[in-house]
Amino acid sequence: MAEIQSILKPLEQFETLMTEIYTRLSQRFSTDLGAKSMFAKLAFEERSHVGQVQFLRRLARQNPTQFADVDVDLEAVKTELQQLEKVADAINHLSLHEAIVLAIGFENSVAEVHSRPAIAGSNPKVGDLLRGLHSGDLAHYNRLVDFARQRGFRTG
């Protein structure tokens, strides 16, 4: 069990880093209009995810008694955040295929997918917000998988 802020802070960092990575990938693959457009759209949507997590952090900070501890693997989230930082450092060396495979993995990670139900359980009133984040993550995952299929990339 973890205190709500202890998971929301790394989740905000994760979403912020995803925004930065997608922005940089859009620039990295700027000559491939399909890849550039997809990564730019993902970056734009991730920025809104950052705002939603920041709102949730403020809400939890202002109403601490309204949020129970969450059952989430905080160490797994921190490990994923460290892995994401390594990817950010290596962006200039990634092929498009590698970038897509890594992005698919992060969109289906503990931080992106599995922590949401635990956080929603902390305060059912924020469930709609978290369902929106989860829907966005699922849409990102599906968009990346579809792109990979269109390009003939193996992702598994």
From the CB of residue 123, how many other CB atoms can be counted at a distance below 10 Å? 19
Domain CATH code at residue 84: 1.20.1260
* Tokens 């601490």 found at: 64
DSSP state of 113: I
Q: Is 2 helix (H, G, I), strand (E, B) or coil?
A: strand
pLDDT digits (tens, 9 = 90+) for 52-105: 889 989 999 999 888 888 888 888 888 999 999 999 999 999 999 999 999 999
Region 130-135: mean pLDDT is 75
Q: For residue 152, is it left (φ>0), alpha (ψ between -120 and 50) or beta?
A: left
> Would you state the pLDDT for residue 84?
93
Whether residue 156 lies inside any domain: the answer is: no
Domain tally for the chain? 1
> Would you state the pLDDT for residue 114?
63
Whether residue 134 lies inside any domain: the answer is: yes
Closest CA to 79 of 43, 54, 109: 109
The pTM of this model reads 0.90
Given pLDDT bands bounded at 50, 70 and 90, which one contains residue 131?
confident
Whether residue 83 lies inside any domain: the answer is: yes
Cβ–Cβ under 8 Å, residues 94 and 65: no
The domain of 18 spans 4-151
Whether residue 136 lies inside any domain: the answer is: yes
pLDDT digits (tens, 9 = 90+) for 136-146: 788 899 999 99
